[in-house]
Amino acid sequence: MRIWLLPIISILASFSSFGQWYETQGQAYIKNGDNHRAKTRAMEGALKKALLVAGASVSSAQQVVNGLLTQDEISIRASGTVNSLELVSENYVDDMVTVTIRADIFPQEKQCFSSDYRKTLLLTRSKLLHREQANIGGIYEVGAELMQNLSKRLNKEGQYLDTKLALKNKTQFSRLNQSLDAEGIKTLTMSLSSITDSQYVMYSEISDISFAQSVNNGWQFWQEDEFNRHFNLSLYIYNGGNGELVFAKDYQSSAPWTFTKRAQVDVNSDVFWSSEYGDAINQTLDEISTDIDENMMCQPTRGKIVRVEGDTVTINLGKRHGVQVGDEFSLLHSNNFISDNGKNYAGFNVSPYKVKVTQVSQESARAVTPDNHILGNIQLSDLAVRY
């Protein structure tokens, strides 16, 4: 089910001490006569839009809307960013529901300096662990298309990430992960990070796209049997500088597979993504996008030093990452070491000097020490960090 959001946002004057009122509209298609589900999706979309405009968290949107509908009340109290929510109107025309909601939102304060900058995240091709499960429908390329769609979401709707894609070739992550080779994953991650100039690297595994055993429409003897199809995904994000895991989560969903058993389905087509199964994946992608954006917000933005000239350094962060003239960075000198048991660890020596940005381009920035000190021990590939 697709959400259509109207671009008009009305900010209403409020004398409340809690926050400010935002009024938005959301739309959703009605499928299989399920008005309740369509109304829920429309309200979630409208509230998410209001939260984004207000600069608040979007993670509570589904919880708040479901709470409102479950309690069958006009307004509710919710801890955190949404103080109250009102359903102003709902209109049903043909197969579309349009809702208008009004929310009292208290914007969250910035929790860290790192939220000022967008982190570069490399998305690798999702691994289909059981390839034979894709036989029905021929959806073997679902992993690559999945990452394409997630990248678009993170770049368009997210606030803290700038994505890059590496989808042509498969990585060795799944083999290393299944053999519990943590050192191999570190090496792979740091290599990909260096090659692609990315701060973080994401891997994912599609663990289940099999069919449920029970039939959804068995009583309709004139139709072909319809089964639910699973979609289970595991996600892992690693720091490209030291290869350490910073975020991991499993996602599970399922929905009816409405295509015939012999149909070959193009996962790049609107037919697939507008189906009930494609819509379930879209909902999972919405959840993933929110989780990644919020969990990566306070991860440090680490710029790599690509040039050193006396008291001046050039770092690989620029306007596209949110860097501005006058920003200050701390410098970290790499000091990796091997422990007694043979494991590699990333270590850093913090420079006593900071640098201030004087020039910014789209992809890089030049910064100097305020008191013109020579940066003698700083080398290429050392880091510039603002925590």
**Measured distance CA(127)–CA(172) in Å, rounded:** 10
**Higher pLDDT residue, 109 or 51?**
51
Average pLDDT of the chain, as a whole number = 79
Record the tokens describing residue 214, joined without a space. 């029970």
Tally of residues, the chain: 387
Q: Are strands 161-166 and 119-124 parallel, antiparallel or unpaired?
A: parallel
Q: Which helix (H) or strand (E) holds 196?
A: helix 182-196
For residues 134 and 142, give the distance between their C-alpha atoms in angstroms, rounded to a whole number.
Answer: 9
Q: Is the pLDDT of residue 3 over 60?
A: no
CA 306 to chain centre: 28
- Across 196-209, average pLDDT: 94
How far lies 104's CA from each of 75, 77, 82, 284, in Å?
10, 10, 6, 27
Q: What is the largest CA-CA distance in the chain?
A: 83
Flag the least confident range among 26-40, 54-68, 118-132: 54-68
| Least confident stretch, 3-12, 209-218, 331-340, 358-367 | 3-12
DSSP-assigned letter for residue 363: S
Which is it for strands 312-315 and 301-309: parallel, antiparallel or unpaired? Answer: antiparallel
Q: Which of 128, 80, 122, 87 is nearest to 105 (CA)?
A: 80
pLDDT grade for 172, boundaries at 50, 70 and 90: very high
44-48, 234-238, 321-325: range with highest mean pLDDT: 234-238
CA–CA separation, 209 vs 88, rounded Å?
Answer: 40
Cα gap 37→46, rounded to integer Å: 14
Q: Exposed, middle or buried by CB within 10 Å (0-12, 13-18, 19+), for 256?
A: middle
Please choose, from the candidates 31, 30, 29, 63, the residue with its C-alpha nearest in 3D space to the C-alpha of residue 44.
63
Can you list the positions of beta strands (E) in the chain?
3-5, 10-12, 20-29, 82-93, 96-105, 119-124, 127-128, 161-166, 200-208, 211-215, 227-239, 245-256, 301-309, 312-315, 328-334, 337-338, 344-345, 348-360, 365-368, 383-386
Output the CA torsion sign for 70, 75, 78, 82: positive
75 Cα distance to chain centroid: 30
Q: How many CB atoms lie within 10 A of CB 71?
A: 10
Q: Is pLDDT of 248 > 50? A: yes
The token pair at 70 is 């479950």
Look at residues 318, 288, 294 and name the one whose alpha carbon lies nearest to residue 153: 288
pLDDT at 101 over 80: yes
DSSP letter for 149, please.
Answer: H
CB atoms within 10 A of CB 107: 14
- Residue 184 reports pLDDT greater than 80: yes
From 12, 9, 19, select the one nearest 50 (Cα to Cα): 9
- Residue recorded with tokens 């349009």: 98
DSSP string, 234-303: EEEEEETTT--EEEEEEEEEEEE--S-TT----TTSHHHHTSHHHHHHHHHHHHHHHHHHHHHTTS-EEE
Question: Which structure tokens are listed for 162?
Answer: 């700038």
Q: Among 230, 162, 229, 167, which Cα is nearest to 203's?
A: 167
Query: Which is nearest to 48 in space by CA: 24, 72, 70, 67?
Result: 24
Per the DSSP assignment, residues forming a β-bridge with 190 are: none
pTM above 0.75, yes or no: no
pLDDT band for position 73 (cuts 50, 70, 90) = very low
SS (H, E, C) 318-346: CHHHCCCCCCEEEEEEECCEECCCCCEEC
- Residues 51, 82 contacting (CB under 8 angstroms): yes
Overall average pLDDT of the 251-261 stretch:
91
